Chains A and B, each alone.
Chain A
């Protein structure tokens, strides 16, 4: 019983943060609905009602975009027609597809924050990882069997992403360069590098004028979980779950993980205990980059099949929000990534159906981070009196002494 209440209390702040974020997003939709608001002089009730109706439509579209229509799924399952089932369950599988890279990036951010490092550049690491996978796949095409290409390209993505994470970790440990600035700058550089690489006719799709790579699907693909036409959910998602288990094991069951977390709680204490604080920074950032890179590789090989500059599309920034939302716990990261995957997937349909730009989600995510990182705001707003016993575990990163 007490376990249930403590779980409920622990979840209260994150859940309310998301709810409040969505509420504020709704207010923004209303305030920018000039078509309705311009009638406020003549027909105030209708104007406000219409604007609020717009919010309901938008969020309704988001919901059905993320989960599909339950009755349709049921009828499709009863008829047993493959094409119908695929169409009906496609929204849910697409939510999982969207969650896959978010799990990777969320784990990447969580592992770095645990060690007291702010990896703001998961976007760049993911993108460069994807570039590594793309180049490897195109180089190896027709030379070795497809499974070998698959392993090699995902491996390359992991290594390249890891290297891109190693750099800021190394710079911080050796020179004290603040990782926030270096990771952000490296993200810009990564984007330009990908742009530069995609100029090469060796990589660029034949006849294309924009920077898009060749189609990788004929060369290599990650096998799908459900073999129905139109479904993209593949075993990359399973790898993501396995990585969550691995990160959890690493952080909480190994000496290295203990050292990482110790460095996150107090660099000087870790040093006095004889641990190498600089080493922990480098290891944490390298692992962080490697995870993001692997996610990018699985994304470009498995889901998208083509490298372009907007592959990452802010995943690295959403990852910060979801890692904090998850209290930096790998299990929480998976849950939060599913939630954000639903928001992302639903947000796309919202954009198509009600014309509400997808970018609203970034604003909502920013609010979510704010509410999770300052729980006092949420408690004040929702009049939660008693301090929840297991309030979001003090995020180690918040205790790190910035250089």
Chain B
């Protein structure tokens, strides 16, 4: 999609082509400057050792230790930056930037991490496994966003829906646990209740946007503010004094048979909480559904050119309703992760922008489930390293570290590294003729 769009841009109008070329040059220079910066870092503390270790089979078992020097890592980052800069300057705007960005991000992150650790050893397995855990709710939010926007509806209400999901899951799960004492039942009912609540919220959003043609941003804001209000209200009025209603049994990690025995990869990918596996499956299923099924084609048609889709007999309205309800269900699942698996109970405003970060991951990933998943991983990694660094007491203020995901989101959404294009008709009301 992007490649053809970019080529069309170049062969098309002269102004657009020149602008694209200029943007590519700016990016090239920016990457070159990153390379120089890396060289500076390399020279600053070349000989500091960088120690990373990975558990081979399980936590606390044998580990593989990688040891090198911080300077060498920075030189790798510098070379990667130089290569990407050269490609941008020589090949110009036709280049698909996103893949190259991933090539660039990895060595930079490793070098930066080693530099900040300043010789302290770090267990990479925990960092990476933590990244997958942290990425899961973000990725799920991104999937919900993709479904909505592919159908042509903005969904900035993800944040509010996750909050409602987290709240409902915690309270329902606690109540069922008190009544039955069955952990599995309590968890499943809690998740189901959360999804039901957010599915209904999704229906409300669709109804406001489609039936009442309310501006979709305002409709989303209504749900976000309302979700904060109602969950805070009930928390303060009921849960604060009756903590037993906000003490759900927490979801424990589950080792997948066979897969978790894989050396190195097993402890990172397949010994996690079940939510993470649901996330993997969701990415695969959604990719298949959006790109390989009739339903997916209709979904994308509704988001790109609803008038044309309507002309050939596709029921755009029904598709949008269904997409928003499905997005609601998914964001409820994502929300339940926060209170059942990550936090252990519901806390006021515990989503802390994860729904919006999910939207940024969606944009970063080019409205594609796989891309969005990897983008979520970047955010999850930022989250995990931030807590790792503050535990290790690295000399950066925790508030500044905490702002990293938000700043990254702004940078990503601003497309500083290149523009991405979403579904053409997202956010526009559709008039069934």
Contact between B406 and A176 (Cβ–Cβ < 8 Å)? no
Contact between A32 and B238 (Cβ–Cβ < 8 Å)? yes
Q: B211-222 vs A: 1/0 string, CB under 8 Å?
A: 010111111011
Among candidates B154, B212, B218, B360, residue contacting A369 with C-beta atoms closer than 8 Å: B218
Alpha-carbon distance A365/B399, docked complex (angstroms): 31
A356 CB–B CB distance under 8 Å: yes
Among candidates A182, A367, A402, residue contacting B426 with C-beta atoms closer than 8 Å: A402
Q: B414-433 vs A: 1/0 string, CB under 8 Å?
A: 11100100000011100000
> Which residues of the other chain, B, contact A397 by a CB distance below 8 angstroms?
215, 217-218
> Which residues of the other chain, B, contact A193 by a CB distance below 8 angstroms?
399, 403
Given the contacts A181-B360, A402-B154, A196 and B397 also touching, CB distance less than 8 Å:
yes
B5 CB–A CB distance under 8 Å: no
B400 CB–A CB distance under 8 Å: yes
Closest A residue by C-beta to B230: A363
Interchain nearest-CB distance for A57 vs B (Å): 14
Interchain nearest-CB distance for A197 vs B (Å): 9
Interchain nearest-CB distance for A395 vs B (Å): 7
> Which residues of the other chain, A, contact B217 by a CB distance below 8 angstroms?
118, 180, 397, 402
Closest B residue by C-beta to A184: B356
> Which residues of the other chain, A, contact B218 by a CB distance below 8 angstroms?
320, 324, 369, 373, 397-398
Given the contacts A196-B400, A370-B222, A180 and B156 also touching, CB distance less than 8 Å:
yes
Most chain-B Cβ atoms within 10 A of its Cβ — which of A32, A186, A373? A373
Contact between B238 and A34 (Cβ–Cβ < 8 Å)? yes
Among candidates B216, B400, B406, B419, residue contacting A188 with C-beta atoms closer than 8 Å: B406
Most chain-A Cβ atoms within 10 A of its Cβ — which of B215, B234, B409? B215
Size of B's binding interface in residues, CB under 8 A = 46
Contact between A362 and B225 (Cβ–Cβ < 8 Å)? yes
> Which residues of the other chain, A, contact B414 by a CB distance below 8 angstroms?
171, 175, 177, 182
> Which residues of the other chain, B, contact A365 by a CB distance below 8 angstroms?
225, 229
Alpha-carbon distance A165/B212, docked complex (angstroms): 31
- Chain A interface size band reads 35 or more
Most chain-A Cβ atoms within 10 A of its Cβ — which of B216, B237, B356, B400? B237
Contact between A373 and B156 (Cβ–Cβ < 8 Å)? no
Contact between A185 and B400 (Cβ–Cβ < 8 Å)? no
Contact between B212 and A376 (Cβ–Cβ < 8 Å)? yes
**A17-57: which have CB < 8 Å to B?**
28, 32, 34
Alpha-carbon distance A356/B406, docked complex (angstroms): 33
> Which residues of the other chain, B, contact A10 by a CB distance below 8 angstroms?
none
Closest A residue by C-beta to B359: A181
Closest A residue by C-beta to B408: A185
A133 CB–B CB distance under 8 Å: no
A258 CB–B CB distance under 8 Å: no
Interchain nearest-CB distance for B330 vs A (Å): 19
Closest A residue by C-beta to B228: A362
Contact between B214 and A28 (Cβ–Cβ < 8 Å)? no
Contact between B229 and A402 (Cβ–Cβ < 8 Å)? no
Closest B residue by C-beta to A320: B221
Alpha-carbon distance A176/B414, docked complex (angstroms): 7
Q: B178-219 vs A: 1/0 string, CB under 8 Å?
A: 000000000000000000000000000000100010111111
Closest A residue by C-beta to B400: A196
B402 CB–A CB distance under 8 Å: yes
Most chain-B Cβ atoms within 10 A of its Cβ — which of A188, A193, A361? A188
Given the contacts A32-B234, A359-B232, A366-B225, A181 and B415 also touching, CB distance less than 8 Å:
no
Most chain-B Cβ atoms within 10 A of its Cβ — which of A120, A317, A356, A362? A362
A77 CB–B CB distance under 8 Å: no
Contact between B229 and A175 (Cβ–Cβ < 8 Å)? no
> Which residues of the other chain, A, contact B360 by a CB distance below 8 angstroms?
181, 185
A401 CB–B CB distance under 8 Å: yes
Contact between B415 and A177 (Cβ–Cβ < 8 Å)? yes
Alpha-carbon distance A187/B222, docked complex (angstroms): 18
Among candidates A363, A398, A401, residue contacting B233 with C-beta atoms closer than 8 Å: A363
Contact between B226 and A171 (Cβ–Cβ < 8 Å)? no
Given the contacts A175-B416, A376-B212, A181 and B225 also touching, CB distance less than 8 Å:
no
Interchain nearest-CB distance for A344 vs B (Å): 13
**A153-186: which have CB < 8 Å to B?**
171, 175-178, 180-182, 184-186
Instruction: Pick 17 A–B contacts, CB within 8 A, sort by A.
Output: A34-B238, A120-B221, A180-B217, A181-B410, A188-B353, A192-B399, A192-B403, A193-B399, A199-B399, A320-B218, A324-B218, A359-B232, A362-B232, A362-B233, A366-B222, A366-B225, A370-B214
